Amino acid sequence: MPVAKISPSMLSCDFAFLAAEAKRMEKNGAEWLHLDVMDGHFVPNLTWGAPIIQAIRPHTEAYFAGGQMYTFHIEATEQPLALIKQIHEAGMQAGVAIKPKTSIDKVLSEVAENCDMILVMTVEPGFGGQSFMAECLPKVEALRRKYPNLDIEVDGGLSLETIDASADAGANVIVAGTGIFKAEKPDEVIATFKEKVNEAQKKFA
């Protein structure tokens, strides 16, 4: 049964204190950190690239969803299987993301069977602070029922108000930005997310 993995999105941290913010999230119970690499092509925004990720790496033992796992958008390539193979050969795990309007048919069968995680976007990629799109959750549930042991991630608008629906649909990897970084007690938010996800996963076992 997949376990809960709570991955605070570094897009919502104080950029002037990246190392300290990474340590703060780890101290508050996060085993993963989510690092959105945006280069102005797939989305118009710019965030950070390999040098910034490399600079943060020595300051935390958290798993980097962005460094140890390379997640690409299925819409950005015509050869997803070749890209998954390339990522694995580079020594990383491979994740595949789908936008809200993309059908899960794009990632079923060979893609899902060869990658390490499927990310179902619950907002349009490119900008933080968007509202959660609950209409994406049937994709999460369909994936979970077909692939009970696969890591399935949701990203976008996750908070204490939306975690129940996400967990019940079968997501076990939870990305949250403002919902964690701006919380008065991030440790309690992370602990609540974990508890709800782990409890919900039992029904899929």
Domain containing residue 135: CATH number = 3.20.20.70
- The binding site consists of 9, 34, 36, 126-129, 155, 157, 177-178
Number of domain units in the chain: 1
C-beta of residue 9 within 8 angstroms of C-beta of residue 128: yes
Question: Which residue among 36, 39, 105, 116 is the active-site one?
Answer: 36
Q: Residue 89: which domain range?
A: 5-204
Distance of CA 112 to the CA centre of its chain: 16
What per-residue confidence (pLDDT) applies to 197?
98
- The binding site for substrate consists of 9, 126-129, 157, 177-178
Least Cα distance to 170 among 132, 136, 141 occurs for 141
What per-residue confidence (pLDDT) applies to 129?
75
DSSP conformational letter for 9: B
Question: Which residue among 14, 39, 151, 155 is the active-site one?
Answer: 155
Task: Indicate if 155 belongs to the active site.
Answer: yes
- pLDDT block averages, 10 residues each, the chain of length 205: 96 96 98 94 92 95 90 97 98 98 95 98 86 97 96 96 98 96 97 98 90
With 0-12 CB in 10 A as exposed, 13-18 as middle and 19+ as buried, what is 93? middle
Record the pTM: 0.96
Task: Indicate if 105 belongs to the active site.
Answer: no
What per-residue confidence (pLDDT) applies to 1?
86
What per-residue confidence (pLDDT) applies to 130?
83
What per-residue confidence (pLDDT) applies to 131?
92
H helices, E strands: number in the chain = 8, 8
